[in-house]
Amino acid sequence: MIPKLRQACAPFRLATDDVDLLRAQFREFLGLIPLLYCILAANVCAVVAASWHIDNHVLARLVPAAFCTVALTRALWWWRRKYAHFSDAEIVRYMRSTSILAGVMAMVVVAWILLLYPLGTPADRSAFVFFIAITEIGCMFCLGPVRSAALSVAAIGIFPTSLYFVLADSSRMWVQSAILGFVGGGMVLVLIRHNRSFAELIHSQRDLRVRQLETERLSEENRHIALTDALSGLPNRRALIARLEDLHERSIAHPVSVAILIVDLDGFKQVNDTFGHEVGDTIIRRVSHAFAERVPEQALLFRMGGDEFAILCEGPAAREDARGVAAALLDLLAHPVRLAVHEFQLGASIGMAVSEGGEVDPWELLRQADTAMYRAKSEGGSGLLAYDPSMDDGRLRRKLLEAEIRIGLERGEFDVHYQPLVDAKTGTVVAVEALARWSGRLAGPLGPDEFIPIAESSGQIHALGLFVLDRACTELADWPDLKLNVNVSPAQFRHPRFEQEVKAVLARTAFPPERLQLEITEGYLIDNPDRANRTIASFCELGVRVALDDFGSGFASIGYLRKYPFSTIKIDRSLSSGLGSDPRASMLITGMVHLANGLDMVVTAEGVENERQAKLLRLAGCHELQGYHFGVPAPLSELGLGGSARARAASA
């Protein structure tokens, strides 16, 4: 019985468990409560006017006057607080007190009307029924946001009054009573549905707000991830660009002074190649943490990627602050980095660029700092170098040469020279290496040491390399006893169509694939090990041999012999030149030859400049020799190879 009673009374209790709904109900209620009291006062005044002739001063005048005074006072009190801030505790207290007060005032109004009812004429009584109906309905409408208060008014005011009027006056008021009860019941249903819809709306708004907050949180997390280097936890290059662009916008209206340092670690690549990326990553984290401790609060530290960092200083003393930071970092790197049982000695090449009291150009500032850093590295590293406009002279020359290379390829200014490779035992020329030469340049010939690096950095090495391959295959087509070696740049090797283009050249020139050998260095193997393995295997299936060039000059070349299907290794000229003066060079070459023999590979020694070196290389077991001792690079017609090979080709 008690649980059912509690369930029946539940709609009349104020629900305080949903704070968002409670606040929304109070905001609605706060705007209607002054209107509620004004409606009460106006209807009471209307009843007084209708019952003024009744000779009962207490009921007809004194009670309504007191009621109107209280109602209007409350209306004024609430109106003055319509913009006030209420705490959750105050909201609960005011809504509970309002629910109680609404029931009390409903009882007062009902009691007052019922006491007046017997004293009035039949016309007065009809007016009483009308006024009590519109009063109760108006109150329920204004109390709609607070369901408990509205239902209290309905329960106390409408339904008991309707029952009273049915029984009064020998049931002559039953029609009015039935209408009052019917309208009251309808209002209750509308009230319940309105409250349910209002609650659903608030819950939907809350869910939407929660989703918006979650979206904003995820967006902020994504932004943080996008602007943060995953390895070091420092802001990344994108964050630096965003900061510089912000400075650019600010500098348009108010000139600012900015200095940027680009820090490149000296010696890190060798450590990374020798000990592996895991050790390299650990060192980067250590260095990042150490840098962060020494960069002052007014400066910002960024990791640009790899072993490169940037420091941004702002303010009138930006130049001096940047120099101080650079000195602190160089002093830090003067001490070795200890990791487990190893000590790694690093350095730093630091370039500085400054924009003082003017508009900040982010990309130009970065370019200047980069230029200064590369100049510092080229001068030995481990130092700070500030940007100077004279540093751009080399850059302008590179830009000019890039354009000249493109035009030179179109005009046919390039040529191919060949350097012979001889059999170590017989001294017979068995192959030639094709080398690009820019002999037809309008401004005069330029050596490969100057134009090859520019062609590689500008992406034109691919076209130049294909030209050399095509020309060499064409010129050697009538020399069936000679094999052809062609150097391949890492940029060519990683080109997605390189294999197809080599096949196309061989098909067009009818050059046998087994006579062609491509030479690559370990740089491409380090950067793209999986793709390199697939590409080398593809050439081997075609019949083209692949040689590992400059063997012995890198850090992990021995491991490549087992991993990749090379047919030949070419011993670097730095080892050949050491023969006779450095006993270790002879031991290393002998070991390399034994290793290559075990893997069924041909060994070619480069850089042979005299007969003594040639003799020692023969004794070491090299199969082929190459160098100025046997011939300098020259056009094919000037190599003095004789006509036997061509004659044999003609007779065939």
The string over 187-196, giving b where at least 16 C-beta atoms fall within 10 Å of a residue's C-beta and e elsewhere, is bbeebeeebe
Which tens digit of pLDDT belongs to each residue from 68-77?
888 888 888 8
171 plus 258 within the same structural domain: no
Residue 442's alpha-carbon distances to 392, 406, 437, 527, in angstroms, are 24, 13, 13, 37
Give which of 493, 418, 397 is closest to 405, Cα–Cα: 397
Write out the two tokens for 475. 């010129």
Residue 643 has pLDDT above 60, yes or no: no
CA distance between the termini of the chain: 119
Total Cβ atoms within 10 A of residue 402: 17
Tell which residue, 387, 355, 347, 393, has the closest CA to residue 371. 387
440 shares a domain with 380: no
544: pLDDT strictly greater than 80: yes
Domain count of the fold of the chain? 3
Of 222 and 444, the structure prediction assigns the larger pLDDT to 444
Please provide the DSSP assignment of 257-295 as one string. Answer: EEEEEEEEEETHHHHHHHH-HHHHHHHHHHHHHHHHHHS
Reported as type and span, the H/E element at residue 266 is strand 256-266
The winner for highest mean pLDDT among 3-17, 554-568, 630-644 is 630-644
Which of 207, 226, 260 lies at the terminal end of a domain, its last residue? Answer: 207
Q: Is the pLDDT of residue 537 over 50?
A: yes
For the residues of 52-83, what is the DSSP string, one character each? TTSS-HIIIIIHHHHHHHHHHHHHHHHHHTTT
Q: What is the mean pLDDT of residues 41-56?
A: 83
pLDDT-derived band at 157 (thresholds 50, 70, 90) equals: low
pLDDT for the residue numbered 645: 43
Tokens describing residue 327: 């000195």
Residues 308 and 358 in one domain: yes
Are 504 and 572 members of one domain? yes
pTM higher than the cut 0.75: no
Residues 579 and 616: beta-carbon distance below 8 Å: yes
High-pLDDT (> 70) share of the chain, %: 89
- Taking alpha carbons only, the member of 295, 306, 304, 312 closest to residue 243 is 312
pLDDT confidence bin for 171, thresholds 50/70/90: low
Region 238-247: what's the mean pLDDT? 90
Supply the pLDDT for residue 325: 95
130-148: string of b/e by CB count within 10 Å (b at 16+)?
Answer: bbbbebbbbbbbbbbbbbb
Same domain, 553 and 481: yes
**In terms of pLDDT, which residue wins out, 288 or 111?**
288
Q: Which two tokens stand for residue 107?
A: 């009882």
Q: Which residue shows structure tokens 């982010």?
A: 362
Burial (CB < 10 A; 0-12, 13-18, 19+), residue 533, is middle
Compare 357 and 504 and report the one with higher pLDDT: 504
Confidence of residue 648 (pLDDT cuts 50, 70, 90): very low
Residue percentage of the chain with pLDDT more than 90? 32
Q: What is the pLDDT of residues 314-357, one digit of tens each?
A: 988 999 999 999 999 999 998 888 887 778 889 999 999 998 87
Least confident of 142-151, 305-314, 427-436, 548-557: 548-557
Which strands form 347-358's sheet, in the order they lie side by side? 299-305, 308-314, 256-266, 347-358, 383-386
Supply φ then ψ for residue 143, to 5 degrees. -90, 5
Residues 6+ away with beta carbon under 8 Å from 495: 462, 501
Residue 605 CA to residue 584 CA, distance in Å, equals: 16
Confidence of residue 176 (pLDDT cuts 50, 70, 90): low
Domain that holds residue 249: 237-387
pLDDT of residue 644: 42
Say yes or no: 485 and 608 in one domain: yes
SS (HEC) of 355-418: EEEECCCHHHHHHHHHHHHHHHHHCCCCEEEECCHHHHHHHHHHHHHHHHHHHHHHHCCCEEEE
**Statement to judge: residues 255 and 187 lie in one domain:** no
Residues 445 and 378 in one domain: no
Residue 111 lies in a domain: yes
Structure tokens at 366: 């970065």
Q: What integer pLDDT is reported at residue 14 of this predicted model?
A: 61
Do 379 and 429 share a domain, yes or no?
no
pLDDT confidence of residue 11: 55
Whether the per-residue pLDDT at 1 is higher than 60: the answer is no
pLDDT of residue 304: 92
Are 359 and 434 in the same domain? Answer: no
- What pLDDT is recorded for position 264? 93
What residue ranges in 269-364 does DSSP mark as E strands? 299-305, 308-314, 337-339, 342-344, 347-358
Count CA atoms closer than 13 A to 440's CA, side-chain side.
13
Residue 398 lies in a domain: no
CATH number at residue 255: 3.30.70.270
- Contact criterion met (CB below 8 Å) for 630 and 611: no
Q: What is the pLDDT of residue 492?
A: 85
Asked if the structure places residue 215 within a domain, the reply is no
Residue where a domain stops, chosen among 387, 405, 430: 387
> Do 643 and 609 belong together in one domain?
yes
Query: Which stretch, 104-118, 125-139, 349-363, 524-538, has highest mean pLDDT?
Result: 349-363
Position 471 in a domain: yes
Strand partners of residue 580: none
pLDDT tens profile 377-410: 878 778 999 998 888 877 778 888 999 999 999 9
- Domain identity same for 613 and 520: yes
Write the CATH number for 514. 3.20.20.450
Residue 646's pLDDT band (cuts 50, 70, 90): very low
pLDDT at 651 over 70: no
Closest of 147, 139, 202 to residue 13, by C-alpha: 147
Is the confidence at residue 586, as pLDDT, over 50? yes
CA distance 608 to 628: 6
Q: Is residue 395 situated within a structural domain?
A: no
Residue 389 CA: distances (Å) to CA of 244, 393, 394: 21, 8, 10
DSSP-assigned letter for residue 141: H
Q: Within 10 Å of residue 350's Cβ, how many Cβ atoms?
A: 29
Domain assignment present for residue 230? The answer is no
